[in-house]
Amino acid sequence: MPRQARIYSETGIYHIMLRGNEKRKIFLDDEDRKRFVYTLFEKASEEKSDIYAYCLMDNHVHLLLYEHSANIARLMKRINVSFVYYFNKKYKRVGHLFQDRYKSEIVDNEYYLLAAVRYIHNNPVKAGIASCPEQYWWSSYCDYIYKKRNEIIVDKVLNLFSENNAEAIKQFIIFSNLDCDIEFIDFMEKSLYEIRLEQERHAVEALCSILSCKGLCLEDLLKKENCKQRNEVIICLKKDFDLSARQMAFITNIGKGTVLKVYNEMVRENRPL
């Protein structure tokens, strides 16, 4: 049976899992774990991919990666080949170490991003080998709390909690240690997600109404001669729906930098946002 083509993430973020062949251990001691982490950082740097989170368990690995222009499949192949060569040579074995192809799922919004980071860091807790994520050494959790390594990109996640670093870390710890009962997670994350979706849906409806009144279409906002109307649209949607620059850029196709410029001009003119 041919392999199913990998679904590509529009955000460039993937949750990836590697499992040992026949669910056997892929790490037999801490030297193996150190070697895998070293290989992960080295190959990700060479392939220009960002690491948002990771967790090494005895027989599987969870990764949260962001690909810029590189190919995740190529990155995973390089990690696989390098680590398997080390492992087989060390233990004088031959053959496959990992089970089939790695598994991946797309992370297509910031709510799933937070959920994925929490899920990855809580693997040792669910397995009963740690009472909290901070007690487990072989994950990126402590990189978020203490910023131990520059290789882990923590700002993408922490900024979703607060732009103030200390407050963001505080909220991250609270979020990471919330009850992980499935029903509770579903209720909390779906409600947050639905609130944001509803906000954006109403903003899109208002955008269509504004454009109709002005005799414009969405593409017209990108034209230089319509910059005044574009700014009026941004200001109106900001006042009525308090959209972030990212949300505004998403629903209007206007560059985030342009949106931020209009926001900053409003602040300088002492106009309420």
**pLDDT per position as a tens digit, 89-116:** 998 988 888 876 788 888 888 878 888 8
Q: Which tops the pLDDT comparison, 226 or 266?
A: 226
Q: What pLDDT band is residue 196 in, cutting at 50, 70 and 90?
A: low
Single-letter code of the amino acid located at 111:
Y
Q: Which two tokens stand for residue 221?
A: 């906002």
Closest residue by Cα to residue 57 from 143, 132, 131, 121: 121
Q: Which tops the pLDDT comparison, 139 or 182?
A: 139
Residue 45: Cβ within 10 Å count:
12
CB 259 within 8 A of CB 245: yes
Q: Provide the phi-psi class of 128: left if phi over 0, else alpha when psi is between -120 and 50, else beta.
A: left
Q: How does the average pLDDT of the chain come out, rounded? A: 82
- Mean per-residue pLDDT, 261-272: 71
Q: Which residues contact 213 (CB under 8 A, 6 or more apart)?
A: none
Q: Where in the chain is the domain with CATH 3.30.70.1290?
A: 13-177
Question: Which residue shows structure tokens 């700014």?
Answer: 231
Q: CA 171 from chain center: how many Å? A: 17
Question: Of the spans 34-48, 194-208, 259-273, which averages the highest pLDDT?
Answer: 34-48
CATH topology of domain 13-177: Alpha-Beta Plaits (3.30.70)
pLDDT greater than 60 at residue 252? yes
Q: Which tops the pLDDT comparison, 120 or 265?
A: 120
